[in-house]
Amino acid sequence: MKKNFFILMIIFTSTLAAQVVNIADGNNINIANGATLDIAGLELTPNADYSIVGENSVSKESEVITINGNESMSKSYNAGVSLEGYTGTILYNYSDEDMNGVTHTASLYVLNSESEWIQFEDEDTEDYTITYAFTDPLEMKAVTAGVQAGLSTIETQTPGIRIYPNPSSSTVNVDYSEDLEITLFNILGQQILKTNSKTINISNLEKGTYFLITEDENKSITNFKLIKK
C-alpha cells in the first residue's frame, strides 16, 4: 500500500507541476489498460497494462527542434531512458503559445533510440490536440509535434473560412463570400486536385486524412485538415 501511494503521488505531482516525472530505482509507474497518465499535457492511454520502470524520468521541455528542415512546436517531452513496447493512444495537447508558427495540421513526431524522428499523422479533427493510436509496439525517446511532411508552415490565414461537413464521405463545402483557389493534398503532400469550386466531391477518395488549402485574392492561405470517412 505504501508503494502504491508513492507512485500515485508521482503522477499527481507531474500533472500539476508540468515539469518532470522522476521514478526512483526499484519503483514503477503502472498504467492499467484503458487508464490515462497525463504528463503535463502528454496523455498516455495504453491498450494493455504498461509500466514505466525505474530508474527513469520524463521531462517537459520548451524547446524548438528542427525536423526535416522545419521547426517543431516549442514543446517536447523527453525520457531519460527510452520507453519501449508501448501500444495504445498518445494525445499531445498544445496551446497557441506552443505553436511556433506550426498550423493545426501538425503531426506527432516520436524519436527512437537511433535518433530518428518518425512522423505519425494526427487521427483526430480537433485543434489543440494531436492523437495517434499505436497498434505495433512503440519505442519513445522523445515526443513533439511538427509540420506535416510535404507541406510548409503557413503563417497567414484568412478569417471567416469554414469547411463542412468534416468528416465527410461524399461532398465538402467551403463557406466563404469571396473567390478562393482550393487545393487538396493527401498525407504524403501530393496534390489531389485544384479548383475554384466551393463544393468538392471526395466520394472517390480513400478513407483517411487530407489537407485542404485555400488561397484568397490577397494570397492569404488557410490550411484545413479534412477527414474522409
pLDDT digits (tens, 9 = 90+) for 137-178: 999 999 999 987 655 444 456 778 989 998 899 999 999 999
100 and 188 within one domain: no
| Contact between 36 and 47 (Cβ < 8 Å) | no
- Residues 141, 194: one domain? no
Of the ranges 51-55, 73-77, 188-192, which is most confident? 73-77
| Contacts of 77 by beta carbon, 8 Å cutoff, 6+ apart | 39, 40, 42, 58, 59, 60, 61, 142, 143, 144
In a domain, 74, yes or no: yes
Number of compact structural domains in the chain: 2
Of 8-17, 22-31, 147-156, give the lowest mean pLDDT range: 8-17
- Percentage of residues in the chain with pLDDT exceeding 70? 88
Predicted TM-score (pTM) of this structure: 0.64
Query: Domain of 181?
Result: 162-228
For residues 123 and 207, give the distance between their C-alpha atoms in angstroms, rounded to a whole number: 12
Instruction: Classify 27 as helix, strand or coil.
Output: coil
Confidence of residue 103 (pLDDT cuts 50, 70, 90): confident
Cα–Cα distances (Å) from 151 to 187, 191, 224, in that order, read 9, 10, 12
Mean pLDDT of the chain: 85
Q: Which residue has the higher pLDDT, 226 or 155?
A: 226
Read off the pLDDT band of 68 (50, 70, 90). Answer: confident
Q: Are residues 30 and 130 in the same domain?
A: yes
Percentage of residues in the chain with pLDDT exceeding 90? 56
What CATH code is carried by the domain that includes residue 198?
A: 2.60.40.10
Select from 84, 112, 146 the last residue of a domain: 146
| Per-residue CA distances from 222 to 146, 163, 212 (Å) | 17, 11, 8
- The dihedral built from the CA positions of residue 121, 132, 143 and 101, taken in this order, carries a sign that is positive
| pLDDT bracket for residue 89 (50, 70, 90) | very high
**What pLDDT is stored for residue 44 in this prediction?**
97
Whether residues 9 and 88 fall in one domain? yes
Q: What does the pLDDT read at residue 167?
A: 87
- Same domain for 66 and 127: yes
Going by C-beta distance under 8 Å and a sequence separation of 6 or more, which residues neighbour residue 135? Answer: 87
Q: Are residues 105 and 186 in the same domain?
A: no
Indicate if 56 and 168 belong to the same structural domain.
no
Q: What is the pLDDT of residue 9?
A: 37
For the stretch 54-66, pLDDT in tens is 889 999 999 899 9
In terms of domains, do 47 and 101 share one?
A: yes
Reply yes or no: is the peptide bond before residue 167 cis, omega within 30 of 0. Answer: yes
**Residues 5, 194: Cα–Cα separation, whole Å:** 58
